[in-house]
Structure 1
């Protein structure tokens, strides 16, 4: 009985290794999609931060922080 269980485990392991080899390029595409999404998010964030209203608010906050007395 132990021989049969070992054969089942070895068969399962061989199938898992074969499946992992077929999916080898998948991680590269996932990194590419993640990089594109991060770049798009950075572009949107840059547009928001450089807009007139947000830029004025940031300058006001920094100006108040620099003029604060200790």
Structure 2
């Protein structure tokens, strides 16, 4: 099943530096996870196994990994 991807652009405004760092860290981990997952899928890894491994490797919620 192919999912459509909707892309939006937004400027994030943070009230303090700590919130900014939390969001930047999440974005960095998600981006790295997507690149890693794409390469593993091309290598023939099973999607379910890969999903479980990605959650542990990148410390992301299953909603972000799926």
Q: Sort the TM-score into its range (normalised by shorter chain).
A: 0.3 to 0.5
TM-score, scaled relative to structure 2: 0.42
Which structure has the bigger radius of gyration?
Answer: 1
Higher relative contact order (CA 8 A, sep 6+): 2
TM-score, scaled relative to structure 1: 0.40
